[in-house]
Amino acid sequence: MKIYPTKEIRLLDSETIRLRGITSDDLMQEAARGMTDLLLDTLDRPARKGRGKPQQIWLLAGPGNNGGDALSMARMLLQAGHPCRCLLLSGGKTLSPDCRLNAERLQALAPEALVVNDTDRWQSELLEPLPDLIIDGLFGSGLSRPLSGCFAQAVAWINHQEAEVVSIDLPSGLMGEDNTDNTPDTIVRADQVLGLRYPRLAFLLPESAPYVAHWRLAPLGIPTEAEAQVDTPYALSEKNDIRALLRPRDTFAHKGAFGHGLLIAGCHEMCGGAILAGQGALRGGIGLLDLCVPPSVYPTVQSALPEAMVRRNEGNERCFSSLEGLPLDKYQAVAIGPALGKGPAQLQGLEALLRALQERQNAPAPALLLDADALNLLSDHPELWSLIPPQALLTPHPGELDRLTGNRAASGYERLQRARQMAVQHQVHIVLKGAYTAVIAPDGRVCFNATGNPGMATGGSGDVLSGILLSLLAQGYPPGEAARLGVWLHGLSGDLALRRPTCTTDDPELCRQSTESLTAGDLPRHLGLAFESLKNDIQ
C-alpha cells in the first residue's frame, strides 16, 4: 500500500477528478460517505473510553475542505438517524467553495443542526449541551504551520473534554509528515482517525502517538492511472505483498538447499542474545547454522541450541576477536553483533571480518548483517564505513541510528530521513526498528511493517529478528526481500504470542499473555505459526 506525502495527495485528487470526469464536490461526497460508514460502525458499539454509545454528537468544521467533509458527514449521519450538530468555525476566513456548498446543504436539510461562528473568537458556549462524541473536522492535511488564534483555542477545548474524539483525515493541527517544529498543545489528541484510501506518513511516526491512538482507512476511488503518475518513496507492507515473497519448499529438498549461515554473537558477560538470535535463525528455516561464541560461554550456548554447530572462538577466552577457524567461503550469510560487547578485541574481530569480506569482492561473498554492538562499534569508529560492502543489511533501533549519525534526532521524521540518507550514501539496506519498522533500500525507498505490538519492546526481541534475517539471507533471499519478510514474520510472531499462547497446562487461561508479560523468548516459539499464518491465513 502506497503512502503519499501531502503534496502528492493533492496531485492525486486533481488527477482523479480529471480522469474520472467528476467534480471536487463529487470526490468530497465519496470521501464523506466512506468515513461516515466507518463512523457508523463505531457508533454501533460502545465508545473506546467505555462510556457507552454517544447521545450527544458534535462535529467541528473548519473553513476549508476538511470542514466540507465534516459538514457532509453531519448530513449523512442525520439521514442515517443519528442526531448530531455541527459547529462551523471560520475564524473570520472565507469558506472554500465546497465547504460553503455543503454548509448550505446541511442548512437546507436541518437548520437546527448547523451552528455558525463566523468570527475570529472561540466560543465554547455554542457547543451546549456538552458532547459525548466530538468529530474533529477543523483542518486536514493542508497545514504548513502550527494552529493559532481561535483554532488553537478550539483544539485546547477539545483536548480537555471527556468525550470520545474522532478526527477525519488527520487530527487538526497535525501535519502529514514533518511535525518536528509543531506545537504539541495545538494538535487534537484523537482516539480514532478516519483516513482516506492511504495511510499518512505521520500515522507511522512515534511523535504522532499522542494524537493518533488508532486509525482506519475509508475507501476512495483513485484510478490506478493516477497512482502510476504520482510517485512516492513510501509504502506500507500488506499481507499479500509479503506472502508473495515467501518461497515454497521442494519436497525433495535437503538441508544444503536452505543455506549455511554464520552467527557471531555473545561475550562472557552476555550470552542470552546469542541464544535468542540462534533460536530465531533455526526457527527461520536455515539449513545449517554455525554459531561462533567465546569459549567461556560455549557450554551454555551449546546446551541451549543443540541444533546449531557452536564454534569456540579461540582468539579470546571472553569475546570474539578474530576469524580463526571460520572459513567464510562456506557461508551464504554472516551476522555479527548480538550481545557481542564493544571492547578493543571485538573491534579487532569486526575489522578482520569486514576486511576478509572486502577481499572477496571479486568472488562470491556471503551476505552481511550488522546488528547491536557491531553497529555501536561502527558508530565509535566511522572509518569502518569504508569496509562495509554494498547491499549489507544494518538493523539499528532508534538509539543506535542516532549514534550512527552522530547526534539525537529531534523527531522520528528527522531520524527516518537520516536513515534514508545513510542508506543511499553507503548503498546499504537499513531496518530501522520500532513500531512500524521501516525497511529502507539503497535507493532511499521505505517500506513500513504492519505487524507487531508494544509487548515486543523488550530486551532480546531485536536479537531474535537478527537471527530470522540471517536465516532468510542464508536461504538466498535478496537483502531487501529478506528484510521485509523477516520483520513481518517477527512482528507476527509477537502478535500470535498474544493471541495463541503455547502452554502445557490444563487451563489455557493461565497461559494467556499480555503486552506487559511478553518476552523475547516467546517469539521463536511462535515463528512456525507465523509462517503458517502467512501461508494459510491462520489467525
Q: Cβ contacts of residue 40 below 8 Å, gap of 6+?
A: 77, 80, 82
What pLDDT was estimated at residue 313? 85
Q: Decide if pLDDT at 539 tops 60.
A: no
| Mean pLDDT computed over 488-500 | 94
What pLDDT was estimated at residue 55? 80
CATH superfamily to which 239-536 belongs: Ribokinase (3.40.1190.20)
Query: CA 316 → CA 304, 343, 501, distances in Å?
Result: 22, 12, 40
Task: Encode pLDDT of 445-477 as tens digits.
Answer: 999 999 999 999 999 999 999 999 999 999 999
Tell me the C-alpha distance between 73 and 170, whole Å. Answer: 15
Tell me the C-alpha distance between 167 and 147, whole Å. Answer: 16
Q: How confident is the model at residue 63 (pLDDT cuts 50, 70, 90)?
A: very high
Rounded to the nearest 5 degrees, what angle is found at the Cα of 311, between the Cα atoms of 344 and 301?
90
Long-range contacts of 206-215 (CB under 8 A, 24+ apart): 206/398, 206/412, 206/434, 206/435, 207/179, 207/180, 207/411, 207/412, 207/413, 208/174, 208/179, 208/412, 210/184, 211/171, 211/173, 211/174, 211/187, 212/171, 212/174, 213/48, 213/189, 214/48
Instruction: Return the SS3 of 292.
Output: strand
What pLDDT was estimated at residue 316? 82
For the chain, the domains span 2-231, 239-536
Task: Encode pLDDT of 313-372 as tens digits.
Answer: 877 888 999 998 898 999 999 999 999 999 999 999 999 999 999 987 777 889 999 999
CA 252 distance to own-chain centroid: 38
Q: Decide if pLDDT at 52 tops 70.
A: no
SS3 for 431-451, per residue? EECCCCCEEECCCCCEEECCC
Task: Encode pLDDT of 26-37 as tens digits.
Answer: 999 999 999 999
Q: How confident is the model at residue 143 (pLDDT cuts 50, 70, 90)?
A: confident
Q: Decide if pLDDT at 50 tops 90.
A: no
DSSP label at 383?
G
Give the dihedral sign, CA 361/365/367/372: negative
Q: How confident is the model at residue 500 (pLDDT cuts 50, 70, 90)?
A: confident
Q: What is the percent of the chain with per-residue pLDDT over 70, rounded to a whole number?
A: 95
Q: Decide if pLDDT at 49 tops 60.
A: no
| Mean pLDDT computed over 120-147 | 92
Q: Shortest CA distance to 387 belongs to which of 400, 370, 403? A: 370
What pLDDT was estimated at residue 45? 62
Q: Does domain 2-231 have CATH number 1.10.3660.10?
A: no
Task: Encode pLDDT of 402-453 as tens digits.
Answer: 999 999 999 999 999 999 999 999 999 999 999 999 999 999 999 999 999 9
Ranges of beta strands (E only) in 337-481 are 367-370, 393-394, 429-432, 438-440, 446-448
Tell me the C-alpha distance between 123 and 117, whole Å. Answer: 8
Amino acid found at 235: A
Task: Encode pLDDT of 75-125 as tens digits.
Answer: 999 999 999 999 999 999 999 999 999 999 999 999 999 999 999 999 999
Task: Encode pLDDT of 250-264 as tens digits.
Answer: 999 999 999 999 999
